[in-house]
């Protein structure tokens, strides 16, 4: 949000400088934090009308660089040039006034307000001293929307919009502020494949209109599809600049991680044993009481991975939350190794050798303000040796933490650092370390690699395969179709709260499964279905 | 939540700072060019209507009953003790010093007393909470004060203990009646075996005969009532002083007009906050009371809850009678709708009592023990009508004078045998 | 992206770390004193007095003298500190669990009246029996008073801010009823309770250094131990920091809410019992105090940390203890202390303003308690 009116912005179209001069140039940007060089002499230039992808692992320094651009961090060295002129960006409002806008991963929208109200928030045009002139704002929003091909109703309440539409509101907000440089921080992380396609169309149109776009991502195929140029950074340095035509996913991954990465983990052969998890006609409702899981039945055997494919919001979260005891069951039965665990407490289920990696690690998986040590024993804190009676044993907790940190390669300066200081990948490794570090009958994974970089994904996939090979039954829910296809021994497709098909993981056809995800294999959409509350994604 | 409270505190502090200097001056009223203002005499010499009488307990003022004696300062200022070195300190009850009530008028009395005897202006401490009473008194003791005035019954226990521990310091306890055992300690059994005069010779416990003030108010109420229905609203019937006021009011009214019907109500049966510190609640209660009982005069004995009662009376267009202090003065802000409907107030002459005690201490005539303030020593009265309506006619004034004389002579009964009991 | 910062083990690093923790509270206190001084100077003309630039010095001098100027003053400060400390520990514990307990006031009053009720049962027994029994009564009374909002929150989702405020009013009325009814001193013309007999806490030090002060300070390590060394304390902190994660980890947020509220209430009740048994020895129906509200400031200023709360309560206790002398010597009303306290709180809550104004870049933004407070206020912690 900003308070500086657009009037303060230099008119972006008036007197355009020669097109040979880059719209933005960052030269030798260096930013040090105690003990870490986040940006080490980074050079980046952005041409007018260009989509420039910034690629890097979590913690590589992408966000720091963009914070420098947005005035949220002051660089220790280096300079920023806009249209060839050195500028000093004092803060976000200054950045916006200079035509730089950022679309954050987490939308900065007020759900109860309308699209138009959200867009004008902070720079309200006043009809007079008292009343807002929303009419004028609406007219401008319609103009913009028509020009760039948005399909959006200025009077719709933001709460009623889908995630993809909300993102478009954010972009519209930037355009309303006359942005000519747009920074999009992992814009596709929360979108369905269809929505991703739509946003790409929009971004290309913006670029054709002379807007310059910095596209931050670590999804290699997306970057190859959308970008005009790709800059890869690793550990604070630029390690390569490529054009999409002259590179490949493998090369980019290697640049990002610094070593050869196996993008596809060899899943090997599975040797399914007895049925471990059996779900029978399960019904679960969402937070509003609408049915989210409708008569789902499934079986997972020891030593096999059952993948659940589906567009996010089709009841997958509710399904796994019900299995692990976090959500009450409206009907049906959940059996673990023949024992009924329907409606059992999370602790009971945990103690029955069930591990769960939640989709939203910030909400369920971690306590960000707590140290790594405490988070690693978050669900074992009262078991020996971490506690004697009610007295905690800090030494045992610390020893366990040091073991886990070494074994799972969690990169942290100290075992007692707050989890909030870790990168997303390392946070997820922490969750995995905690959940995997014991003998398991069942492993429930919900979006285990969402928002992670390729190195972390590879690591986690290896761990999952290892668990399966050790005889654990694995239930894998992912909105990333590729992940499901690569990992699963069997794949079920979830659509509007139901499992609509189950196919063999090795022979499954991507297009076939994708079609099932999009339509459920039905001609007509189900009228009873209401979209569950989107609780947002986190990285 | 807390911030709100804090900002209230901030405003309150500013207001208090703003008021504390000028609190003493009553609003002079152009409508009544009658003698000097009642109860809160201006420190500057007023044109005295009556000869000055030292309000010593034994002296009987021959003044008109309603007017309290003009303080000694006005005329007898250069007395032998004009440059007293006595250090006087006041500990009020929780609340504010300018509460236009007990705290304020007791402090006024201390200030007047100090001026009378030529001592330095007294200091005042307002406790923040009830656990502070003892330590606040102790602050004065530590600073070698000679006279410590403690205001209100709530400070009684702390005052007894301090008086016992510091026999050389004078204590004046306003609205406190001393009841001690043979060792001089507070007596929880109320046998009162010990003689305060000898055990605590420097502790003056000032109490008032509220029934006499109530009696006078009752005379006024019955006299001005057209409908022969009058009302009284007390805060709670568990406080004897409240009950005594109302019992006196009943007797006074009946004596004046045997046909009068006296309606009585209490705001709360158990909750002291509702009873004495809830003006809004008082207004609601009184509004319903007036609708149900149709009195045309209403007497309040309910602290600041009672201010709401008066508000209701004024709104309903009937006459109100205030309590303890001249409420005409305390509620007479120009914007206050109460303006104009308070006929009189049944008064305890708090200021007089404190002032007199200080004069006695300075003059060496003071004695410890319980001192009852009543008609005999001009400790009670009703305030002069200030609304200019002339409701209190000379005839009523005569009734009041007669009643006061009767009280002094002991020929008028102002309280039944169950005096103070609900 | 967040950059992991390795802890700096050097001396200067430690000093920086310490500064990061205490900078905001210290700055808030200093600024509040300056604003208090301005209020004093500027309010003089409004009151019709001459402007006296030396008044703040006189006033703060007296405040200082009255709080730590001599032995008795120091004991006096400890005496006013004790209830703030106990009630502050309770509120801080609540903050740790994400609960904004406004009810310390009521819990304090009920603790006080309950200690009298219990004391009356054993008033003629040996003090060794009577004292612990009466103190226990106070703890139980306060705990009960907080247990009710705890249950309401856990079972019905009623927000504790609302219910504890309600309970404060009910406490006032209950006190009024008990002091003028069942517990009233027989024959007394006034609504006061009977005394506490042998349950009165002995004076250990000076004129009024009673046993309750010692008890209050002994409770600090207990609360610290509970929070940081026991599994229960871990659960309390986890529920406060992230109730969803706590539930996922198998903890029982509802039960913990009730437990935490009860412990917090027990601490406030003990504060009330200590004051009644140690200082007042009886209660009148109109007993008034500000301990419960001051304790909120204490908990915020101490950042809910037991050690921080010790310092915060000492500061506020000293201001309360010194205020009477400030009134006597400088004629500055006691409300100034409220003003200073309020401004400290304002600065703490509006800490972003301070940080920007003083460019406190390295200073920890993590005002744990205020964040918990704002995060939980009005939001629903349990599902």
**List of chain A residues whose C-beta atoms are within 8 Å of the C-beta of residue C231:** 381-382, 387, 390-392
**Averaged over A273-300, what is the pLDDT?**
90
Q: Does residue B136 or residue B73 have the better pLDDT?
A: B136
Contact between chains at C208 and B14 (C-beta distance less than 8 A): no
CA C75 to each of CA B13, B136, C80: distance values in angstroms, whole numbers, following the listed order: 27, 14, 9
Could you give the 3-state DSSP secondary structure of residue A100? strand
**Averaged over A273-295, what is the pLDDT?**
89
In this predicted model, what pLDDT tens digit does every residue of A7-17 receive, in sequence order?
444 444 444 55
CB of B173 closer than 8 Å to CB of B155: yes
Nearest CA in chain A to C361: A73
In this predicted model, what pLDDT tens digit does every residue of A420-477 receive, in sequence order?
888 777 888 899 999 988 889 999 999 888 777 778 888 889 999 999 999 999 999 9
Is C184 an interface residue toward A (CB < 8 Å)?
no
Q: Is the pLDDT of residue A483 over 80?
A: yes
What pLDDT was estimated at residue B163? 94
CB atoms within 10 A of CB A405: 21
Burial A23-56 (b: 16+ CB within 10 A, else e): bbbbeebbbebeebbbbbebebbbbbbbbbbbbb
Contact between chains at C345 and B3 (C-beta distance less than 8 A): yes
The tokens describing A146, both together, are 């028509």
- Kindly report the backbone phi and psi dihedral angles of residue C277, in degrees, each rounded to the nearest multiple of 5, phi listed first: -75, -25
Q: Is the peptide bond before B264 cis (omega within 30 degrees of 0)?
A: no
Is C365 an interface residue toward A (CB < 8 Å)?
no
CATH of the domain at A321: 3.40.50.300
- Report the distance separating Cα A356 and Cα B352, nearest Å: 81
Q: Does residue C261 or residue A127 have the better pLDDT?
A: C261
A453 in the same domain as A307: yes
Max avg pLDDT among A256-260, B58-62, B165-169, C248-252: B165-169
Instruction: Report CA Rg, chain A.
Output: 25
What pLDDT was estimated at residue C116? 95
A343 in the same domain as A444: yes
Between residues 270 and 289 of chain A, which touch chain C (CB distance below 8 Å)? 287
**List of chain C residues whose C-beta atoms are within 8 Å of the C-beta of residue B138:** 72, 76, 207-208
Query: Which one, of A324, A325, A315, lies nearest residue A295 by Cα?
Result: A315
- Kindly report the backbone phi and psi dihedral angles of residue A183, in degrees, each rounded to the nearest multiple of 5, phi listed first: -110, 120
CB of B9 closer than 8 Å to CB of C338: yes
Contact between chains at B135 and C195 (C-beta distance less than 8 A): no
Contact between chains at C297 and B420 (C-beta distance less than 8 A): no
- Report the distance separating Cα A339 and Cα B138, nearest Å: 73
- Report the distance separating Cα B173 and Cα B96, nearest Å: 18
Q: Which of B7, B14, B15, B17 to mutate to test the interface with C (most CBs of C within 10 A)?
A: B17
Find the domain containing A375 and state its range.
Answer: 368-437
**Averaged over B163-177, what is the pLDDT?**
93
CB of B176 closer than 8 Å to CB of B367: no
- Report the distance separating Cα A488 and Cα A474, nearest Å: 9
A308 in the same domain as A338: yes
Q: Tell me the nearest-neighbour CA distance from C373 into chain B, angstroms.
A: 11
In this predicted model, what pLDDT tens digit does every residue of B30-85 receive, in sequence order?
333 333 333 333 343 433 333 333 344 433 333 333 334 434 433 344 444 468 88
**Averaged over C215-223, what is the pLDDT?**
96
Beta bridge partners of A503: A491
Q: Tell me the nearest-neighbour CA distance from C180 into chain B, angstroms.
A: 7
CATH 1.10.3470 fits C25-43+52-376, yes or no: yes
Those residues whose C-beta lies under 8 Å from the C-beta of residue B55, and which sit 6 or more positions away, are B61, B69, B72, B352, B355, B356, B377, B378
Domain B64-208+351-377: give its CATH code.
3.40.50.2300
- Superfamily holding B210-348+392-409: Response regulator (3.40.50.2300)
Is A395 an interface residue toward C (CB < 8 Å)?
no
Those residues whose C-beta lies under 8 Å from the C-beta of residue C350, and which sit 6 or more positions away, are none
Those residues whose C-beta lies under 8 Å from the C-beta of residue A269, and which sit 6 or more positions away, are none
Contact between chains at A33 and C3 (C-beta distance less than 8 A): yes
- Which residue has 């203002």 as its token pair? B37
If one counts the domains in chain A, the total is 3
CB of C321 closer than 8 Å to CB of C315: no
Start-end of H helices in B143-278: 156-165, 196-199, 210-224, 240-256, 272-276
User: Could you check whether B64-208+351-377 and B210-348+392-409 share the same CATH topology?
Assistant: yes
Domain residue extents for chain B: 64-208+351-377, 210-348+392-409
A333 in the same domain as A194: no
**List of chain C residues whose C-beta atoms are within 8 Å of the C-beta of residue B272:** 176, 180, 191, 285-286
What pLDDT was estimated at residue C250? 87
Give the CA angle between residues C185, C191, C197 to the nearest 5°: 30
What pLDDT was estimated at residue A281? 93
Nearest CA in chain B to C38: B14
- Report the distance separating Cα A504 and Cα A485, nearest Å: 10
What pLDDT was estimated at residue A47? 92
Q: Tell me the nearest-neighbour CA distance from C329 into chain A, angstroms.
A: 48
Last residue in a domain, options A257, A288, A310: A257
In this predicted model, what pLDDT tens digit does every residue of B374-400 receive, in sequence order?
999 889 999 888 777 788 899 999 999
- Report the distance separating Cα A206 and Cα A184, nearest Å: 13
CB-neighbour burial class of residue A14 (10 A; exposed 0-12, middle 13-18, buried 19+): exposed
Task: Tell whether A347 is covered by a domain.
Answer: yes
ipTM over 0.90: no
Nearest CA in chain B to C278: B131
What pLDDT was estimated at residue B311? 87
**List of chain A residues whose C-beta atoms are within 8 Å of the C-beta of residue C368:** 369
- Report the distance separating Cα C130 and Cα B188, nearest Å: 19
Q: Does residue C244 or residue C370 have the better pLDDT?
A: C244
Give the CA angle between residues C169, C172, C173 to the nearest 5°: 90
* Residue A110's pLDDT band (cuts 50, 70, 90): confident
Is C304 an interface residue toward B (CB < 8 Å)?
no
CB of C121 closer than 8 Å to CB of C198: no
CB atoms within 10 A of CB B52: 16
Q: Tell me the nearest-neighbour CA distance from A136 into chain C, angstroms.
A: 34
* Residue A129's pLDDT band (cuts 50, 70, 90): low
Task: Tell whether A419 is covered by a domain.
Answer: yes
Q: Which of C161, C327, C329, C348 to mutate to test the interface with B (most CBs of B within 10 A)?
A: C327
Q: Tell me which DSSP letter residue A443 carries.
A: E
CA B11 to each of CA A427, C292, C350: distance values in angstroms, whole numbers, following the listed order: 49, 21, 20
Contact between chains at C320 and B128 (C-beta distance less than 8 A): yes
Last residue in a domain, options A229, A257, A285: A257
The tokens describing A488, both together, are 């699963």
Longest Cα–Cα distance in chain B: 59
What pLDDT was estimated at residue B245? 95
Chains near B (3 or more Cβ pairs under 8 Å): C
Q: Does residue C364 or residue B213 have the better pLDDT?
A: B213
Between chain A and chain C, how many beta carbons pairs sit less than 8 Å apart?
A: 107
Q: Which of A32, A34, A427 to mutate to test the interface with C (most CBs of C within 10 A)?
A: A34
CB-neighbour burial class of residue A331 (10 A; exposed 0-12, middle 13-18, buried 19+): middle
Task: Tell whether A5 is covered by a domain.
Answer: no
Nearest residue, CB atoms, C232 vs list A324, A347, A390: A390
Write out the H or E segment, with its range, that includes residue A483: helix A481-487
What pLDDT was estimated at residue C4? 40
CB of B247 closer than 8 Å to CB of B416: yes
Nearest residue, CB atoms, B3 vs list C173, C188, C349: C349
The tokens describing B392, both together, are 């209190």
Contact between chains at A64 and C1 (C-beta distance less than 8 A): yes
Nearest residue, CB atoms, A63 vs list C1, C234, C247: C1
Query: Which one, of B334, B336, B388, B371, lies nearest residue B33 by Cα?
Result: B388
A518 in the same domain as A445: yes
- Report the distance separating Cα A495 and Cα A312, nearest Å: 10
Those residues whose C-beta lies under 8 Å from the C-beta of residue C377, and which sit 6 or more positions away, are C100, C159, C161
What is the SS3 string spanning A375-413? Answer: HHCCCCCCCCCCEECCEECHHHHHHHHHHHHHHCCCCCC
Q: Is the pLDDT of residue B15 over 70?
A: no
In this predicted model, what pLDDT tens digit does every residue of C23-58 receive, in sequence order?
888 888 899 999 999 998 888 887 777 888 888 999
């Amino acid at each position: 949000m900003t308070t500086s009116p657009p009037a303060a912005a230099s008119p972006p179209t008036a007197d355009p400088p020669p097109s040979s001069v880059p719209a933005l140039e960052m030269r030798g940007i260096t930013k040090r934090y105690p003990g870490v060089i986040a940006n080490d002499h980074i050079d980046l230039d952005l041409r007018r009308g260009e989509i420039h992808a910034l690629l890097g692992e979590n913690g590589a320094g992408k966000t720091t660089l963009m914070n420098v651009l947005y005035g949220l961090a002051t660089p220790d060295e280096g300079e920023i040039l806009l249209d060839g002129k050195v500028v000093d960006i004092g803060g976000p409002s200054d950045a916006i006034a200079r035509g730089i806008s950022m679309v954050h991963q987490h939308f900065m929208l007020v759900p109860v307000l309308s699209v138009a109200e959200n867009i004008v928030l902070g720079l309200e045009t006043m009809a007079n001293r008292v009343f807002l002139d929303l009419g004028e704002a609406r007219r401008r929003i319609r103009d913009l929307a028509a020009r760039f091909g948005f399909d959006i109703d200025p009077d719709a309440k933001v709460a009623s919009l889908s995630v993809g539409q909300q993102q478009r509101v954010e972009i519209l907000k930037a355009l309303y502020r006359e942005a000519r440089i747009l920074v999009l921080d992992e814009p596709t992380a929360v979108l369905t494949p269809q929505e991703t396609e739509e946003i790409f169309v929009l971004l290309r149109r913006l670029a054709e209109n002379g807007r310059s776009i910095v596209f931050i991502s670590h999804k290699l195929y997306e970057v190859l599809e959308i970008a005009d140029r790709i800059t890869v950074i690793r550990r604070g340095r630029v390690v390569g600049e490529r054009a999409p035509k002259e590179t490949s996913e493998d090369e980019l991954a290697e640049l990002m991680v610094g070593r050869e990465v196996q993008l596809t983990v060899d899943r090997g052969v599975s040797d399914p044993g007895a049925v471990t998890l059996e779900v029978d006609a399960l019904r679960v409702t969402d937070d509003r009481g609408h049915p989210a899981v409708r008569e789902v039945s499934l079986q997972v055997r020891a030593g096999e991975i059952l993948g659940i494919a589906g567009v996010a919001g089709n009841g997958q979260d509710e399904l796994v939350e019900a299995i692990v005891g976090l959500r009450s069951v409206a009907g049906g039965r959940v059996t673990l190794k023949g024992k009924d665990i329907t409606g059992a407490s999370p602790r009971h289920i945990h103690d029955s050798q069930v591990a769960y990696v939640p989709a939203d690690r910030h909400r369920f998986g971690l306590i960000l303000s707590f140290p790594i040590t405490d988070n690693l024993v978050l669900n074992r804190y009262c078991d020996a040796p971490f506690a004697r009676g009610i007295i905690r044993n800090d030494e045992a907790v610390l020893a366990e933490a040091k073991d886990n940190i070494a074994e799972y390669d969690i990169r942290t300066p100290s075992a007692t650092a707050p989890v909030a200081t870790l990168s997303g990948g390392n946070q997820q490794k922490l969750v995995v370390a905690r959940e995997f570090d014991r003998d398991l009958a069942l492993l429930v994974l919900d979006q285990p690699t969402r928002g992670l970089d390729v190195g972390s994904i590879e690591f986690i996939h290896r761990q999952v395969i290892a668990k399966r090979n050790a005889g654990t039954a694995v239930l894998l829910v992912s909105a990333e179709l590729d992940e499901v296809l690569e990992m699963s021994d069997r794949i079920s497709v979830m659509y509007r709260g139901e499992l609509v098909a189950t196919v063999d993981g090795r022979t499954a056809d991507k297009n076939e499964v994708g079609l099932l995800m999009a339509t459920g294999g039905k001609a007509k959409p189900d009228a009873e279905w209401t979209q569950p509350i989107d609780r947002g994604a986190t990285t | 939540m807390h911030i709100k409270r804090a900002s209230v505190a901030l405003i309150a502090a500013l207001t208090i700072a703003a008021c504390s200097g000028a609190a003493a001056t009553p609003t002079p009223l152009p409508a009544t060019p009658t003698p000097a203002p009642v109860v809160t005499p201006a420190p500057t010499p007023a044109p005295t209507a009556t000869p000055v009488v030292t309000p010593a307990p034994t002296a009987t003022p021959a003044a008109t009953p309603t007017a309290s004696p003009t303080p000694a300062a006005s005329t007898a200022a250069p007395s032998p003790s004009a440059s007293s070195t006595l250090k006087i300190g006041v500990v009020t009850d929780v609340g504010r010093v300018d509460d236009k009530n007990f705290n304020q008028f007791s402090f006024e009395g201390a200030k007047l007393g100090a001026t009378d005897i030529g001592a330095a202006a007294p200091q005042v401490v307002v406790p923040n909470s009830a656990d502070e009473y003892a330590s606040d008194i102790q602050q004065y003791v530590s600073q070698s004060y000679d006279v410590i005035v403690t205001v209100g019954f709530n400070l009684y226990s702390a005052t007894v203990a301090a008086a016992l521990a510091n026999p050389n310091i004078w204590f004046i306890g306003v609205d406190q009646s001393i009841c001690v055992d043979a060792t001089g300690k507070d007596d929880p059994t109320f046998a009162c075996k010990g003689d305060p005069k000898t055990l605590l010779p420097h502790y003056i416990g000032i109490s008032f005969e509220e029934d006499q003030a109530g009696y006078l108010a009752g005379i006024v109420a019955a006299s001005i009532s057209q409908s022969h229905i009058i009302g009284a609203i007390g805060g709670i019937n568990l406080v004897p002083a409240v009950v005594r006021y109302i019992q006196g009011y009943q007797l006074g009214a009946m004596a004046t007009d045997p046909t009068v019907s006296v309606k009585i109500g209490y705001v709360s049966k158990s909750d002291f906050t509702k009873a004495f510190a809830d003006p809004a609640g008082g207004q609601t209660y009184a509004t319903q009371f007036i609708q149900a009982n149709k009195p045309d005069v209403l007497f309040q004995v309910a602290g600041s809850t009672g201010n709401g009662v008066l508000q209701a009376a004024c709104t309903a267009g009937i006459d109100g009678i205030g309590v303890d202090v001249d409420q005409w003065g305390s509620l007479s802000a120009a914007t206050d709708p109460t303006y104009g409907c308070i006929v009189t107030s049944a008064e305890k002459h708090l200021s007089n009592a404190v002032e007199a005690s200080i004069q006695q201490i300075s003059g060496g005539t003071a004695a410890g023990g319980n001192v009852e303030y009543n008609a005999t020593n001009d400790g009670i009265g009703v305030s002069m009508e200030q609304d200019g309506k002339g409701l209190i006619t000379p005839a009523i004034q005569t009734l009041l004078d007669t009643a006061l004389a009767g009280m002094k002579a002991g020929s008028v009964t102002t309280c039944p045998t169950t005096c103070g009991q609900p | 992206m967040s950059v992991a910062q390795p802890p700096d083990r050097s001396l200067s690093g430690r000093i920086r770390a310490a500064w990061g923790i205490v900078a905001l509270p210290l700055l808030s206190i200093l600024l509040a004193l300056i604003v208090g001084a301005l209020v004093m100077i500027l309010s003089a003309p409004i009151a019709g007095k001459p402007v006296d630039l030396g008044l703040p010095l006189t006033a703060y001098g007296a405040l200082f003298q009255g709080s730590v100027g001599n032995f008795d003053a120091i004991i006096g400060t400890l005496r006013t500190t004790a209830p703030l400390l106990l009630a502050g520990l309770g509120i801080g514990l609540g903050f740790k669990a994400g609960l904004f307990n406004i009810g310390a006031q009521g819990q304090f009053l009920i603790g006080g009246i309950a200690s009298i009720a219990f004391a009356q049962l054993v008033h003629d027994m040996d003090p060794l029996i009577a004292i612990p029994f009466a103190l226990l009564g106070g703890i139980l009374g306060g705990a009960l008073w907080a247990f009710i909002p705890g249950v309401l929150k856990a079972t019905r989702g009623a927000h504790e801010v609302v219910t504890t405020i309600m309970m404060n009013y009910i406490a006032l009325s209950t006190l009024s009823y008990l002091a003028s009814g069942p517990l009233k001193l027989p024959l007394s013309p006034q609504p006061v309770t009977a005394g506490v007999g042998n349950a009165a806490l002995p004076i250990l030090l000076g004129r009024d250094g009673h046993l309750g002060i010692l008890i209050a300070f002994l409770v600090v390590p207990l609360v610290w131990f509970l929070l940081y060394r026991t599994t229960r304390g871990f659960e309390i902190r986890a529920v406060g920091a992230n109730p969803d994660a706590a539930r996922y980890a198998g903890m029982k947020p509802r039960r913990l809410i009730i437990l935490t509220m009860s412990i917090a209430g027990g601490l406030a009740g003990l504060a009330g019992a200590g004051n009644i048994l140690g200082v007042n020895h009886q209660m009148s129906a109109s007993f008034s105090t500000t301990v419960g509200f001051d304790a909120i400031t204490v908990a915020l200023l101490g950042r809910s940390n037991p050690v921080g709360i010790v310092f915060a309560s000492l500061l506020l206790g000293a201001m309360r203890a010194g205020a009477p002398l400030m009134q006597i010597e400088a004629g500055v009303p006691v409300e100034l202390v409220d003003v200073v306290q309020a401004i400290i709180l304002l600065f703490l809550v509006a800490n972003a303003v301070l940080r920007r104004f003083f460019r406190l870049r390295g200073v920890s933004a993590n005002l744990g308690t205020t964040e918990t407070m704002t995060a939980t206020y009005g939001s629903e912690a349990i599902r």
